[in-house]
Amino acid sequence: MSTMQPAANGAPQTWYVLWCQERCHKSENEARRELLTMAAAQIGAEILLFKKAKQFHFWLDRCPGERYVLITDWREAQPCMEVLAHKLAEKSVSGVPSAMPEMTVVLCESERQGSRATEWARTLGEDFGSVHAFKRDSVPSSLLYGLVKQVFSEPCVTDRSGNFDSSSFSGEYSQESSSFEPVRPYTSREGSSTNSFGSHH
């Protein structure tokens, strides 16, 4: 279970779901943006949208120390990691902590792309945090309480009337305990399990 650190006033610290993808602001993703906003709110998070890794870099410069999860595609994954590598280098010189993502999810469009992304993720050091690559139709339902699967599957999950189907979302955020409630672990083909926040154990 991942536990939120309370702010100075005792309230849970704000955390963010970052979506970095070139077409995230386009009309074709309007439904996805609305669903992401709703799903993130259910687990106590706010969303931020970035077209490019450069914007992600600007945000890290302005808002150091924030807690966040990064969701991106294969095209922006490597530039985003280059941004984080730059931040790690700054930390080694200045000693000032620079927030790494709690988790990075790389969404892939094909098996081949997914294999490449997985192999690439294995080359990253532990300092980059937990990095996972999935084909869009193979995202585990337990990852980030179901948010990634519901929002980024093709198409977005809706009910028969065309409204967003919040009943399929498994996330639950407890304001009283300032923590994430766990969901059923995902077991990969290799037999390793993934906790509800997406980290292998």
Confidence at residue 12, expressed as pLDDT on a 0 to 100 scale = 58
**Residues spanned by the domain of 108:** 15-194
At residue 169 the predicted structure's pLDDT band, cuts being 50, 70 and 90, is low
Task: Please determine, for residue 66, whether its predicted confidence score (pLDDT) is greater than 80.
Answer: yes
**How far is residue 165's CA from residue 84's CA, in Å, rounded to a whole number?**
35
2 lies in a domain? no
State mean pLDDT over 44-62. Answer: 96
Confidence at residue 8, expressed as pLDDT on a 0 to 100 scale = 46
201 lies in a domain? no
5 lies in a domain? no
104 lies in a domain? yes
50 lies in a domain? yes
Task: Please determine, for residue 11, whether its predicted confidence score (pLDDT) is greater than 60.
Answer: no
8 lies in a domain? no
Task: Please determine, for residue 145, whether its predicted confidence score (pLDDT) is greater than 70.
Answer: yes
Confidence at residue 42, expressed as pLDDT on a 0 to 100 scale = 92
**How many domains does the structure of the chain reveal?**
1
Is the pTM for the entire model greater than 0.85?
Answer: no
Note the pLDDT tens digit of each residue in 170-179. 554 333 333 3
92 lies in a domain? yes
Q: Retrieve residue 106's tokens.
A: 């790389």
Task: Please determine, for residue 81, whether its predicted confidence score (pLDDT) is greater than 90.
Answer: yes
Confidence at residue 173, expressed as pLDDT on a 0 to 100 scale = 39
Nearest 5°: phi and psi at 71? -115, 125
Confidence at residue 201, expressed as pLDDT on a 0 to 100 scale = 34
Strand partners, 174: 179
Task: Please determine, for residue 26, whether its predicted confidence score (pLDDT) is greater than 50.
Answer: yes
* Sheet arrangement for strand 103-108: 45-50, 15-20, 67-73, 103-108, 130-135
10 lies in a domain? no
At residue 156 the predicted structure's pLDDT band, cuts being 50, 70 and 90, is low
**Is-contact 21 72, C-beta < 8 A?**
yes
**Angstrom distances, CA of residue 143 to CA of 4, 63, 188:** 17, 26, 12
**Angstrom distances, CA of residue 129 to CA of 58, 169, 187:** 20, 25, 20
Higher pLDDT, 5 or 41: 41
Q: Give the CATH number of the domain where residue 96 resides.
A: 3.40.50
At residue 31 the predicted structure's pLDDT band, cuts being 50, 70 and 90, is very high
